[in-house]
């Protein structure tokens, strides 16, 4: 990256983020996204995910700054010497999950997930899901509220709330975590190699409808969902060296 990188700023809809945008643009300017050395979203983790999806095709590194409620993927907000901070930041390359869905109506839908793909029951009745990993049925029938598969970067989000494991960066694994499992009662999920291809088959799909969500793209009334890491797509997140993503994920394992 250039010694003095050209920055493109964008902000969420909160007043705190919009005020930060005005101050930073007045201080450093604001180049078009296509000309930027780095993109700087101002907001929380939700806005960071939105920005990653929106500008994925530009292949620009992204250095987020915290102006929202949750900022696990964001750097601390400081206006001083921002180009220098961006130039010295550590980059982490992430590969999203690709979700391929077949619905009851016969529609086929694809979407990418940076955090996780989750399957969720749509009604009062529990879902019944068969799990296939690399062509082998590993679980004939999981009765549950749902199930998710998370990337290492996403393992501290919904996955952690569902009592799934935190997965360190570079571990080469994905977390497969059930959501309120009823049967098998003692099954608490699995760690899968990042190369795994997972297929979920919805049993009794009409009686027990299930939706599938890739980050914030939802497909309703699904009958089959395939999930695999897409190594052809990569995103680069930038973090200050003293508070990098690897350290954050490690620290989460010892937090209260």
Positions marked active-site = 45
Residues 194 and 172: their CA atoms lie apart, in Å, by 5
Strands 65-66 and 38-43: parallel
**Which run of H or of E encompasses 222?**
strand 222-229
CA–CA gap between residue 60 and residue 70 (Å, rounded): 23
Sheet holding 190-193, edge to edge: 190-193, 173-179, 146-150, 116-121, 210-214, 217-219
Distance CA 256, CA 251 (A): 10
Give the sign of the dihedral formed by CA 241, CA 242, CA 243, CA 246: positive
- Beta strands 38-43 and 7-11 are parallel
The C-alpha atoms of residue 238 and residue 256 are separated, in whole angstroms, by 26
């Amino acid at each position: 990256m250039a010694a003095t990188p050209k920055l493109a700023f964008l902000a969420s809809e909160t007043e705190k983020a919009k005020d930060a945008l005005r101050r930073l643009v007045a201080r450093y300017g604001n180049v078009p996204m296509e000309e930027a050395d780095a993109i700087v979203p101002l907001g929380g983790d939700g806005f960071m995910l939105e920005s990653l999806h929106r500008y994925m095709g530009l292949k620009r590194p992204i250095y987020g700054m915290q102006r929202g409620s949750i900022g696990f993927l964001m750097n601390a907000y400081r206006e001083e010497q921002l180009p220098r901070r961006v130039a010295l930041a550590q980059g982490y390359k992430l590969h999203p999950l690709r979700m391929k869905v077949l619905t009851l109506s016969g529609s086929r839908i694809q979407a990418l997930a940076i955090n996780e793909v989750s399957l969720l029951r749509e009604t009062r009745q529990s879902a019944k899901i068969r799990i296939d990993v690399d062509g082998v049925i590993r679980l004939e029938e999981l009765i549950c509220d749902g199930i998710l598969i998370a990337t290492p970067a996403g393992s501290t989000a919904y996955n952690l709330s569902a009592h799934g494991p935190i997965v360190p960066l570079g571990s080469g694994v994905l977390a497969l975590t059930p959501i309120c499992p009823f049967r098998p009662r003692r099954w608490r999920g699995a760690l899968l190699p990042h190369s795994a291809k997972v297929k979920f088959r919805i049993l009794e799909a009409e009686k027990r409808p299930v939706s599938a969500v890739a980050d914030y793209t939802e497909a309703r009334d699904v009958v089959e969902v395939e999930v695999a890491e897409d190594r052809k797509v990569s995103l680069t997140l930038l973090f200050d060296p003293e508070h990098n993503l690897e350290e954050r994920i490690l620290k989460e394992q010892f937090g209260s």
